[in-house]
């Protein structure tokens, strides 16, 4: 029997993630959205691509959660993107409500699944989903670092004209302007990147990585990135389904690692069938440690806004 993956939110990120999993042919997919007809239409359209691409998986769309029962992995992408005239707090509260209610439904039907959050602001939404679900950090975590790292690796590979697979890097911290690309641990075919690219240029590439999401938004004008985000979350889905024990940057509730407590922030973690198997505590330079602290403070500020609303 195939494993089961539910994707909540049939918008750009969710539908593309569902498509990638369906096309892999290794899992059955349930696509959920609040808009009537949207997940059903997209799922049927994808199903009808099966004979052409050679996938025998099933994919269905629904507006309720019964069909999601006993999912092995649930990806939460539901939410709204920021629109002109909206403050960051407006986005925070709206998505908080959406992610909260979706999480309640998801855990009701899949109490033993692994949940991966994608909705922004990612770190705060992951923390909120974690508290609503009562799950341990092992089974609920967020996707951001894989995407940020993929952007960093893309830019470095372009700069050096090498294969993307040869660029090894990590981007840690919150998924925002304060993210922390670990230049000190980045290597290209085993050679430290600082030996290959002058520091001024490297700083420009780091900045472009930090602005990576904004660069896409300003090009698209009506939405945000979804091809790379969906690829990134599917890498995490596959690490769980195939019990890969893969080390990826993930947004995880920290319990003293990196000197941070009770806060969801991006760190390298080992991912397998049970979810987060281990948080990898790598040695940071003092500059990186400082940047990670700054980044976690930005996440903390958002959480405070959320908590003040609740009180």
Active site (catalytic) residues? 175
Per CB under 6 A, the list member of 68, 119, 235, 295 interacting with ligand APR is 119
Residue 98 engages ligand APR in binding (rule: CB under 6 A):
yes
| Residue environment code for 46-83, b if the CB has 16+ CB neighbours within 10 A, otherwise e | bbeebeeeebebebbbbeebebbeebbbbbbbbbeebe
Residue 79 engages ligand APR in binding (rule: CB under 6 A):
yes
- Contact flags string 219-258 toward ligand APR, x per CB under 6 A: ----xx-x--x-----------------------------
Residue 8 engages ligand APR in binding (rule: CB under 6 A):
yes
∠ CA(144), CA(148), CA(150), 5° rounding? 115
DSSP result, 191-212: EEGGGTS-HHHHHHHHHHHHTH
| Residue environment code for 13-45, b if the CB has 16+ CB neighbours within 10 A, otherwise e | bbbbbbbbbbbbebbbbbbbbeeeebbbebbee
Cβ of residue 244: shortest distance to ligand APR, in angstroms?
23
Stretch that binds ligand APR, among 9-17, 175-183, 197-205, 269-277 (CB under 6 A): 9-17
Distance of CA 249 to the CA centre of its chain: 9
Cβ of residue 10: shortest distance to ligand APR, in angstroms?
5
Using DSSP, state whether 10 is helix, strand or coil.
coil
Cβ of residue 6: shortest distance to ligand APR, in angstroms?
11
Among 3, 31, 39, smallest CA distance to 114 is for 3
Cβ of residue 273: shortest distance to ligand APR, in angstroms?
25
Residue 174 engages ligand APR in binding (rule: CB under 6 A):
no
| Interacting residues with ligand APR (CB under 6 A) | 8-14, 32-35, 77-79, 81, 98, 101-102, 118-120, 223-224, 226, 229
């Amino acid at each position: 029997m195939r494993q089961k993956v539910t994707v909540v939110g049939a918008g750009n990120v969710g539908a593309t993630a569902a498509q990638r999993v369906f096309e892999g042919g290794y899992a059955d997919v349930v696509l959920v959205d609040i808009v009537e007809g949207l997940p059903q239409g997209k799922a049927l359209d994808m199903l009808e691509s099966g004979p052409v691409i050679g996938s025998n998986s099933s994919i269905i769309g629904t507006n309720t959660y019964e069909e999601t029962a006993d999912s092995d992995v649930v990806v939460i992408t539901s939410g709204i993107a920021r629109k002109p005239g909206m403050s960051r707090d407006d986005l925070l509260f709206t998505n908080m409500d959406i992610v909260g209610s979706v999480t309640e439904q998801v855990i009701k039907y899949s109490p033993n699944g692994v949940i991966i959050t994608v909705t922004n602001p990612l770190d705060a939404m992951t923390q909120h989903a974690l508290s609503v679900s009562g799950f341990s950090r092992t089974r609920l975590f967020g996707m951001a670092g894989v995407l940020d790292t993929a952007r960093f690796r893309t830019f470095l590979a372009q700069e050096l004209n090498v294969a993307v697979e040869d660029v090894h890097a990590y981007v840690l911290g919150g998924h925002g302007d304060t993210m922390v690309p670990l230049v000190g641990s980045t290597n290209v075919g085993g050679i430290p990147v600082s030996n290959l690219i002058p520091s001024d240029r490297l700083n420009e590439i780091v900045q472009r990585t930090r602005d990576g999401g904004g660069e896409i938004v300003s090009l698209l004008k009506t939405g945000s990135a979804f091809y790379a985000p969906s690829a990134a979350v599917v890498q995490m889905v596959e690490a769980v389904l195939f019990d890969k024990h893969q080390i990826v940057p993930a947004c995880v509730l920290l319990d003293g690692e990196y000197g941070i407590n009770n806060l969801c922030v991006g760190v390298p973690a080992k991912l397998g069938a049970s979810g987060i198997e281990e948080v990898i505590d790598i040695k940071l330079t003092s500059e990186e440690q400082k940047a990670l602290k700054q980044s976690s403070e930005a996440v903390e500020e958002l959480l405070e806004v959320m908590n003040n609303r609740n009180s």
